[in-house]
Copies of this chain bind each other. A is one copy, B any other.
Amino acid sequence: MVTIKINDKLLSKNDQLALANHALFDRHGVWCLNLISAPGSGKTTLIERTVERLSDRLKIGALVGDLDTENDSRRIASHGVPVRQIITGGACHLNAKTIGEFLSHFDLEALDVMVIENVGNLVCPTSYYLGEHHRVSLISAPEGDDKPLKYPGAMHTSDALVINKIDLIPYTDFSLERARENALKIGSHLDIMPLSCKTGEGLEAWIEWFESHAREIKSRRESGTSE
């Protein structure tokens, strides 16, 4: 395991607070995922489908960012998930300070996973580390297969790319192959998972990816190597 020592003075205030969040997650063995996408790509629905499939094996909590409305947190809470809605007013992204404040509302010891659903915006959230272990960008087929090229920040800083709404591909010009090529041009490291939250196609690969990362953080805590 490589340990990198970081000089706090070189870090932004946001990054300092994000590292504090990260340490808190590690201390409790909670895997944190930061989910980023444009408006309407299906972040909330993906969380719902994930919880439905994993709630008997993993205890999942959620923090949901939106400019306005509590619609998304209500949808997620209906699955029995502890959830808090962060209404940002006009702010176009979540930041580490807000996440830290809202984490105090959760019993982290009782959780295995914290999913952060960021504000619907494929630009600004990519510049703010929140303390997550993994970051996933989500695009949806109707948005077009050129999106990975046009939003390079999201591809660079994410660990995985979920391509949602593949059930709509027959009615659009979207090519899964072109989307994949475009994504790998910018982020050759990306795990790419095409799926449909509607039909369930491709969901198994996502669930495996999700669960294996959550278990890794949990087992790190149990073996005492998390910090």
Residues of A within 8 A of B (CB): 38-41, 66-69, 71, 90, 92, 119-124, 127, 139-140, 142-144, 146-147, 149-153, 165, 167-168, 171-172
**In whole angstroms, how far apart are the Cα atoms of A90 and B127 in the complex?**
9
Quick check: B150 and A90 within 8 Å, CB to CB? no
**In whole angstroms, how far apart are the Cα atoms of A90 and B156 in the complex?**
12
B contact residues around A147 at 8 Å (CB): 39-40
**In whole angstroms, how far apart are the Cα atoms of A120 and B165 in the complex?**
19
**In whole angstroms, how far apart are the Cα atoms of A168 and B119 in the complex?**
25
B contact residues around A172 at 8 Å (CB): 168
**In whole angstroms, how far apart are the Cα atoms of A7 and B90 in the complex?**
25
B contact residues around A122 at 8 Å (CB): 38-39, 120-121
Quick check: A39 and B151 within 8 Å, CB to CB? yes
B contact residues around A124 at 8 Å (CB): 92, 121, 123-124
Nearest B residue (CB) for A88: B123
A147 to chain B, nearest CB (A): 6
B contact residues around A68 at 8 Å (CB): 149-152
Quick check: A143 and B90 within 8 Å, CB to CB? no
**In whole angstroms, how far apart are the Cα atoms of A147 and B144 in the complex?**
19
